[in-house]
Homo-oligomer: A and B are copies of this chain.
Amino acid sequence: MDRVYINSIGTHAGTEVTLRGWLYNKRSSGKIQFLLLRDGTGIIQCVVKQADAGDETFDLCDSLTQETSLTVTGTVRVDGRAQGGHELVVSGGGIEVIQIAQDYPITPKEHGAAFLLDHRHLWIRSKRQWAILRIRARVIRAIRDWLDSNGFLNVDTPVFTPNAVEGTTTLFPVDYFGDTVYLTQSGQLYNEANIMAFSKVYCFGPTFRAEKSKTRRHLTEFWMVEPEMAFYDLDQNMEVIEGLTCAIVSDVLNDCREELEVLERDITKLEAVQSPFPRIHYDEAVKRLNDAGREFEWGCDFGAPDETELGSQFDRPFFVTHFPSQIKAFYMSRDPERPECALACDLIAPDGYGELVGGSQREDDLDELLVRIGEHELSPEVFEWYLDLRKYGTIPHAGFGMGLERTVTWICGIEHLRETIPYPRMLHRVRP
């Protein structure tokens, strides 16, 4: 017999099936016991009537503790009132215990964040964490599906990188057989080499930042997808970002209704995420901030409160473009008409979720790039191989990086980045 899972129980209505899983919760009402069974794909109510299942099976229910592993055999019954629309009517002898769980530490009562993070290996069994990490997986798949079906090739960039590109303060050094290497902070420079072999590429992997920040927006290890496209300019870059973002939201809305309900996410806010996204020039962003009564000077970078203020003015993610070059990376192209501005675009989420994407057209001229490297006081030797890309058939190109955990935090409508990654690594947190 094929395995039956709770998320496809509907196809077995009226038949007897065996489910395998863990006791999530239970209650009793006189001669009926209600067991909430979870099997990793969902939760179903199992009804044990003393009259039908017999005394032995009925009494067995008393011994079942939270997170006891067991198999339950019964008949699938359609029930509109039940969660998921079905319940399982347990047969006589239909309960087999695998292991009684003694004193499972995470009880239905409230626990503190530190305690839950210490027990992350168990906490992920809770409904809310289950929902968030299922949405994370759906977002990953949406990203890959959309890129793969739009002509992008997945080209993995290395974690071990030989050179410190911009200072070493947020880098993790590693002793590599006597050499010092660093854990990657971005695959972009490699992506720029890869587009000249494959046209449109992306890397998607873990990224590292040794930041001593303790804010709810920082992880030391996080995942980032970085697409890069040959022969694309800033506008075309934004079209890609927009298409990808809409695809992610649409896929989650289609496939994760149950998870979004668990999180009590306001669906209408996600449904509003449609093309076109507003595009505002940095100049206009400054004006909007000043008009809203915030002190903000041209030339500064946005802080979280600035992004929140701007985000409150839109019902969907929006672009800010043409940031001052001085606050942006050396490899970004400059606006030929206003060289003090970079051909950069950030995608900012509404409702205070901040920056989801940072992107730009890249400087493709060798001499200009050398000037930038000088201005940023970087050493050209470090970039020798990268400069080759401007010598041997340089082309206009653009790309961006999207932070996975930030995107998932926004889609889930939750407060903490740390819940969007299975095992968060932060300043004081590297276990379990």
Contacts and interface: CB of A to CB of B under 8 A. Distances in A.
A199 B134 CA distance: 12
A153 interface: yes
A399 to B, nearest CB: 14
A10 to B, nearest CB: 15
A197 B156 contact: no
A151 interface: yes
Contact of A197 (B40, B205, B212, B230): B40
A157 interface: yes
B385 A425 contact: no
A430 B198 contact: no
Contact of A423 (B158, B200, B208, B427): B158
Interface residues of A, number: 86
A101 B174 CA distance: 36
Contacts of A22: 196, 393
A67 B159 contact: no
A48 to B, nearest CB: 19
A77 B155 CA distance: 32
A144 to B, nearest CB: 7
Interface in A158-188: 158-160, 162, 172-177, 179, 181, 183
A195 interface: yes
A69 B394 contact: yes
Given A101-B392, A395-B98, A422-B190, A212 B430 contact: no
A262 interface: no
Interface stretch (A118-126, A341-349, A355-363): A118-126
Contact of A425 (B39, B158, B422): B158
Nearest to A191: B422
B198 A133 contact: yes
A422 B157 contact: yes
A257 interface: no
Given A5-B151, A199-B41, A394-B99, A121 B190 contact: yes
Contacts of A422: 155-158, 190, 194
Given A198-B130, A427-B177, A193 B121 contact: yes
30 contacts: A39-B230, A40-B198, A40-B200, A40-B230, A69-B393, A98-B394, A99-B393, A102-B391, A119-B388, A121-B193, A125-B196, A133-B198, A134-B198, A137-B153, A157-B423, A158-B423, A159-B208, A159-B221, A160-B220, A160-B221, A162-B430, A172-B174, A172-B175, A173-B175, A176-B430, A177-B210, A177-B212, A177-B427, A190-B423, A385-B432
Interface of A: 3, 5, 20, 22-23, 39-41, 67-69, 98-99, 101-102, 104, 119, 121-122, 124-125, 129-130, 133-134, 137, 140-141, 144, 148, 151, 153-160, 162, 172-177, 179, 181, 183, 190, 193-200, 205-206, 208, 210, 212, 220-221, 223, 230-231, 385-386, 388-389, 391-395, 421-423, 425, 427-428, 430-432
